Homo-oligomer: A and B are copies of this chain.
Amino acid sequence: MKRDQFYLPNGIIYLDGNSLGPVPKAAAARVQQAVTDEWGEQLITAWNKAGWFHQPRDLGNRLAPIIGAQNGSVVIGDTLSIKVYQALAAGLNLRPERTVILTDSGNFPTDLYMAEGLIKVIDRDIELKVVLPEEVGKHLDETVAVMMLTQVDYRTGRLHDMAELTKKAHEVGAVALWDLAHSAGALPVDLEACHPEFAVGCTYKYLNAGPGAPAFIYTRPDLADKAEPALSGWMGHNKPFSFERTYTPSPSVERMRVGTPPVLQMAALSAALDIWEDVSLHDIRAKSIELSELFIAEVEKRCPEFLLISPRDSALRGSQVSFAFEHGYPVIQALIADGVIGDFREPNVMRFGFTPLYIEREDVLNAVCILEKIMREKSWQQEQFSKRSEVT
């Protein structure tokens, strides 16, 4: 769909855009411009002249349509972990009498860790209840302050029904917080219709904004002036440059800003968002399903050792496909050595992301051929592939 707008190295089939998207071709020049023309020439005055100060809001508004959010409801900054903390703290604050954060075992660990950390700081008797993904609905009751879920399971690709679960949460008076790390840019998300209180996500996966790109946070417009930001930094102050001694939060979602925004990363994000201007998320979804179905069918035909652990029904799956295999780690290493980049997640999961902006049917077919060859030749049994490195 937009392959010509990305740089993809020769001979590489990149099935890991669900972890880190590739470089938009325009990003290098945009970042360079931020370094030389803005920082270099304008120095401190670029905060006004180059619009740095308002980037978190402006880029938030450009990202908003991708997740079905209203103008003025999204702000960019920090990391996803930080934004989870803010949203969760704000959610608990909206339900001071309740005692449970409900989440599931498919949530990304950092969301659970941030919740753990917050509970320790808070000194309020809060339970982090981790249930099976399919049992979240059953555990929603009037003890639940916040239902905190990642829509797409990072390990299996299992997709939650955001509309349905948010509705159920609201029926029992719980606040809904969605982590869209593996949804934003992967499938249509309609925050306005689903009406959760908070959503957060990152921009370095399907949105292709680069390593360590900033996160985003959505606050439902009716809560924009009520949600307590918890991390009440000066950039979220109503008048940051008045340097008042006490904190008065911005009346908008900008209260969720904390410190100085990462301008160079913002430049890359800006280039990445350009690509989305005329993309239909429904087209993305259709192609994502087509590629994923093709991959599943071909892998099951040619590599019977692998067990599909993603939902077979595409309606219940995000834009990645995972197979379990006892020797998944060396197989992924051998694949990478042969130019097919997927990744591995403990204990035995081989993950493959299908990112329709730049992946085609041909890539999928070629990737499966190489996978089949590796399994047939058993090249993954070579010593060089068996040692686990720290980051995979």
Which A residues contact B (CB, under 8 angstroms)? 7, 9, 12, 14, 16, 19-20, 22-23, 27-28, 31-32, 34-36, 38-41, 43-48, 52-53, 78-82, 85, 89, 105, 108-110, 112-114, 116-118, 120-124, 130, 155, 202, 204, 210-215, 228-235, 237, 241-247, 258-266, 268, 336, 341, 343, 345-346, 389-392
Contacts and interface: CB of A to CB of B under 8 A. Distances in A.
A210 B35 contact: yes
A114 B233 CA distance: 6
Given A110-B234, A233-B79, A233-B81, A268 B260 contact: no
Contacts of A114: 231-233
Contact of A47 (B39, B231, B391): B391
Nearest to A16: B44
Contact of A232 (B9, B19, B117): B117
B247 A112 contact: yes
A191 B391 CA distance: 32
Which 9 A-B pairs rank lowest in CB-CB distance, beginning with the nearest? A79-B259, A117-B232, A81-B233, A211-B263, A110-B234, A212-B262, A81-B259, A113-B247, A47-B391
Contacts of A247: 112-113, 116-117
A391 B53 contact: yes
Contacts of A118: 121
A260 B79 contact: yes
Residue among A9, A247, A264 facing the most chain B CB atoms (10 A cut-off): A264
22 contacts: A9-B40, A16-B43, A32-B32, A35-B268, A44-B343, A47-B391, A53-B391, A78-B78, A85-B231, A89-B121, A109-B234, A109-B243, A110-B235, A113-B232, A117-B231, A117-B232, A120-B228, A121-B121, A121-B230, A204-B260, A212-B265, A264-B268
